[in-house]
């Protein structure tokens, strides 16, 4: 949620580019963003072969994150917002979340237990936000980390892993500890969102 608020102030980085994409379907941009997320996961897994692959993973996720914001900007600017597009966007966001975290988990730098915690915490946080909408309260984006926050954190983790490579902290790599942090933060945010939603129900 912290970085989600900055999307409206992105200026030329989103709206400037979006203004040239009137003929492009926002759903196509969403799909490409998802494909790049899958490519990130594959690259992260194979990064043990060469550190340059980890750098490639960084740029793949950066591209995916940018397109994840661009699709909405295009939809809003050219009045292409639809329920089907909204559904596809949020559906592929969840698939992307799982694929990204799974790629990190099964990589040389991952930890299976921490990865399960990361995926579970992330999905629970997202679920509470959408369940709030299901009972008529509106979708909840509050708390930390929101999806934009999470993607930036993963980008930072990727860079830190690239520069530390085989350095371990208490027997685990930076990636593993990053997964644990995301998982615990996700669980905490799910409780925070649930408390907000529960108090709002008449």
Question: What is the per-residue pLDDT for 3?
Answer: 54
pTM of the model as a whole? 0.92
Residue 127's Cβ-side half-sphere holds a number of Cα atoms within 13 Å equal to: 10
- pLDDT confidence of residue 190: 96
Determine the pLDDT at residue 189. Answer: 96
Q: Which residues of the chain have pLDDT under 50?
A: none
Q: Which among 182, 189, 148 has a CA at the least distance from the CA of 8?
A: 148
Model pLDDT, residue 152: 97
Active site residue 149: no
Average pLDDT, the chain: 92
Question: In this predicted structure, what is the pLDDT of residue 135?
Answer: 85
Q: State in words which class domain 4-200 has.
A: mainly alpha
Burial of 75 (0-12, 13-18, 19+ CB in 10 A): buried
Task: Give dist(CA 162, CA 107) in Å, integer.
Answer: 13
- Check residue 11 and give its pLDDT: 56
Phi, psi of 141 (to 5 degrees): -115, 5
Cis peptide leading into 187, omega within 30 of 0? Answer: no
Write a three-state SS string for the chain.
CCCHHHHHHCHHHCHHHHCCCCCCCHHHHHHHHHHHHHHHHHHHHHHHHCHHHHHHHHHHHHHHHHHHHHHHHHHHHCCCCCHHHHHHHHHHHHHHHHHHHHHHHCCCCCCHHHHHHHHHHHHHHHHHHHHHHHCCCCCCCCCCCCHHHHHHHHHHHHHHHHHHCCCCECCECHHHHHHHHHHHHHHHHHHHHHHHHHHHCC
Question: pLDDT tens for residues 66-120?
Answer: 999 999 999 999 999 999 999 999 999 999 999 999 999 999 999 999 999 999 9
Please give the pLDDT value at position 13: 79
Active-site hit among 15, 93, 149, 172: 93
């Amino acid at each position: 949620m912290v970085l989600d608020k900055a999307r409206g102030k992105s200026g030329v980085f989103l709206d400037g580019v979006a203004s040239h994409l009137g003929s492009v379907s926002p759903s196509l941009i969403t799909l490409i963003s998802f494909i790049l997320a899958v490519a990130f996961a594959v690259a992260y897994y194979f990064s043990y072969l060469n550190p340059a692959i980890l750098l490639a993973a960084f740029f793949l996720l950066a591209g995916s994150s940018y397109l994840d914001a661009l699709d909405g900007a295009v939809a809003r600017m050219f009045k292409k917002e639809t329920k089907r597009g909204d559904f596809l966007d949020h559906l592929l966001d969840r698939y992307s979340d799982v694929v990204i975290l799974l790629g990190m988990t099964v990589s040389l730098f991952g930890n299976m237990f921490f990865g399960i915690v990361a995926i579970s915490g992330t999905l629970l946080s997202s679920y509470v936000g959408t369940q709030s909408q299901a009972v008529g309260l509106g979708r909840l984006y509050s708390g930390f980390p929101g999806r934009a926050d999470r993607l930036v954190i993963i980008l930072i983790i990727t860079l830190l892993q690239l520069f530390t490579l085989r350095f371990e902290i208490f027997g685990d790599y930076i990636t593993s500890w990053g997964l644990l942090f995301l998982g615990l933060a996700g669980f905490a945010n799910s409780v925070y969102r649930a408390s907000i939603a529960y108090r709002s129900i008449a």
